[in-house]
Structure formats: structure tokens, C-alpha cells
């Protein structure tokens, strides 16, 4: 059984002005996401600035999220690392914290071979009982899980159940679906390709867009899954200008700027990320308002 179907939010990690994690704001964001129909919370991922959280902060964000959500919807914890030992320990601690699943990105910078990737995921999977979603985003990591490797892991490792596919190549998605006979839980990692991805057999999206439009994103995916493909496609097309604006600089720079424009006060970004360029803030603000998001002031 899939961890979730529909739209999961790749949630930002809110910060105070002094760059400490803002746990009170985190609670507010979680409640709003649940109220607006988000199907799963994905915490401490790329959008959550996991790469600049200390291990202690990383685990505390997971613990707080699990506690606040309290089993109302699944919580999937990002526990990937470019060090296998660290990924194993983060995954073990996330299980102890009560997470419902794990999102494990390919090791970044190391540029592991396919054999290395196999060993990495097997070592993580052997140390936990939770279902694991592999996260394939070669544009960031410099490392791609080939379809044959993913299919072999799915066949041979019981708790490797799916993939967040941010390869951006529908041909890759189709090849992986063919290799796994359509039995692998595939989630789009590209907000601009959700409906085409679902048409390839995907069951949902792990979404940046959901941070600013959770109800819309949930309804778009569920429209497609429930057979209303025409409406789902219309919603995808409507969202494209906003999605483009949310990725006009590297994620999560624009989405944090967008949430601050909305009055969420999710705070600044940790270095080496920098605040959004003023001209891009104007473009983002325009796209948000044209989409139908009301901005205070």
C-alpha cells in the first residue's frame, strides 16, 4: 500500500531572524497544510534546507513535525546524505521519532556508481522498517539512479517502495514504470509536469507549489486520479506561470520569498543561499496575484 496518493508538500523550514529554526511557525504551517487538504508532509528535504541544518536540528524538526501532525496524515522524513553512515543514522532516528516513511536522496557530490547506489540504499533499508522513497534529482546531486538500478532495488528490497522522480524526462519515467510493471510508487518531483507524470502511472507529487497553494495542488492531482483529466489539465496549465516563477531562482529561494509575501513570515534563508533578486521578487509577486493569491498590503 502506498504511503500516500495525491499531493505531498515539500515543506519549507521556517527560520527566525537570527536563523534559528522557528518551531512555532512550523506548527502554524503544518496546521494550515492539513486544513487545506495536503495528503502528506515531506519534511527536511531540499525545500526544507536540510543541507544547512545541523544533525540535531534535522532530527528535532522531524520530531516536532511528527508530534504536531499526530498521525492525521503521513509524515515522510528526508534522511538522505552523501555519507551512507549518516543516512543510516538519520533514518534510524526518524523511525524512532515516529515518521511514516523516508525520502532518501541519492548521495550528492560523491557521484557514486550504480553499484555504489545499490549498496547505499540497501544499507539504509536494512536498518529500518519504514517504507523508503528514493529521491532521484541528478541536476542537484550529479548522480542519477538508472531505471534498471531502481527496478532491481524495488524487486530485491522489500521496503524500497517508490521514487520521487525529478529527472525531468518523461521517457525515463516510462522506462522505470515498464521495468517495474507499474507497481512502483512514483511521485513527480516537478510541479510543471504533474499531469503528464500521472498519465505515465504516477500516483502523486511531492510539491513545492503546495507551500503556497496546498488546496489547489491537492485538487489538481485528485481530479486526475478520480478521472477528471480535463479539469486536472486545465489546472496544470493555470499553474505553469506561477511554477515558473517559483523556480526562477534555485529552490527554496523563491518559495520562501513567496510565503513571506503572503504574510507567513517564514524568515530568511541560511547561507550559502541568498535572498531573491528584487526584479525576480516583482515577477514572482505578479505571477502569484495573477494566479489568484491575495497579498497583504
Please give the C-alpha separations between residue 107 and each of 113, 114, 129, 155, 167, in angstroms, as whole numbers. 10, 11, 21, 21, 15
Query: In this structure, what are the phi and psi dihedrals at residue 272, rounded to the nearest 5 degrees?
Result: -90, 5
User: Distance (Å, rounded) from C-alpha 226 to C-alpha 214?
Assistant: 18
Q: Which three cell numbers stand for residue 48?
A: 526544507
CA 277 centroid distance within chain? 24
92 secondary structure, DSSP code: H
Residues paired with residue 42 on neighbouring β-strands, in sequence order: 10, 76
Among the options 25, 121, 135, 172, which is catalytic?
A: 135
User: Distance (Å, rounded) from C-alpha 233 to C-alpha 237?
Assistant: 6
Catalytic residue status for 135? yes
Among the options 25, 164, 172, 187, which is catalytic?
A: 164
Alpha-helical regions (H) of 200-277: 214-225, 229-246, 253-261
Residues paired with residue 165 on neighbouring β-strands, in sequence order: 136, 188
Q: Which three cell numbers stand for residue 33?
A: 497544510
Q: Minimal CA–CA distance to 93: which of 107, 81, 77?
A: 77
Alpha carbon dihedral 104, 257, 21, 134, in 10-degree steps, equals: 0
| Helix 170-179 vs helix 147-156: crossing angle, to nearest 10 | 30
Hey, which bits of 119-273 come out as E strands? 132-136, 160-165, 185-188, 204-207
Catalytic residue status for 164? yes
Which residues participate in catalysis according to the annotation? 135, 164
Amino acid at each position: 500500500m502506498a504511503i500516500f496518493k495525491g499531493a505531498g508538500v515539500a515543506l519549507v523550514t521556517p527560520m527566525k531572524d537570527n536563523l534559528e529554526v522557528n518551531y512555532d511557525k512550523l506548527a502554524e504551517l503544518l496546521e494550515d497544510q492539513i486544513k487545506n487538504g495536503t495528503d502528506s508532509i515531506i519534511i527536511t528535504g531540499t525545500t526544507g534546507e536540510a543541507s544547512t541544518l545541523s544533525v540535531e536540528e534535522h532530527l528535532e524538526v522531524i520530531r516536532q513535525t511528527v508530534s504536531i501532525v499526530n498521525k492525521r496524515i503521513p509524515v515522510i522524513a528526508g534522511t538522505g546524505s552523501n555519507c551512507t553512515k549518516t543516512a543510516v543514522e538519520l533514518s534510524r532516528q526518524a523511525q524512532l521519532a515516529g515518521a511514516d516513511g523516508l525520502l532518501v536522496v541519492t548521495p550528492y557530490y560523491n557521484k557514486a556508481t550504480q553499484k555504489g547506489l545499490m549498496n547505499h540504499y540497501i544499507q539504509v533499508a536494512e536498518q529500518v522498517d519504514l517504507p523508503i522513497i528514493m529521491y532521484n534529482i541528478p541536476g542537484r546531486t550529479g548522480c542519477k539512479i538508472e531505471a534498471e538500478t531502481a527496478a532491481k532495488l524495488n524487486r530485491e528490497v522489500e521496503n524500497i517502495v517508490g521514487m520521487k522522480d525529478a529527472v525531468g524526462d518523461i521517457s525515463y519515467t516510462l522506462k522505470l514504470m515498464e521495468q517495474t510493471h507499474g507497481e512502483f510508487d512514483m511521485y513527480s518531483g516537478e510541479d510543471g509536469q504533474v499531469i503528464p507524470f500521472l498519465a505515465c502511472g504516477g500516483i502523486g507529487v511531492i510539491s513545492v507549489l503546495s507551500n503556497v497553494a496546498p488546496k489547489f495542488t491537492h485538487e489538481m492531482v485528485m481530479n486526475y486520479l478520480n478521472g477528471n483529466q480535463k479539469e486536472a489539465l486545465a489546472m496544470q496549465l493555470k499553474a505553469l506561470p506561477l511554477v515558473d516563477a517559483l523556480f526562477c531562482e534555485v529552490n527554496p529561494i523563491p518559495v520562501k520569498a513567496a510565503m513571506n509575501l503572503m504574510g507567513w513570515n517564514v524568515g530568511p534563508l541560511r547561507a550559502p543561499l541568498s535572498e531573491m533578486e528584487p526584479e525576480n521578487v516583482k515577477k514572482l509577486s505578479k505571477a502569484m496575484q495573477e494566479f489568484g493569491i491575495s497579498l497583504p498590503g
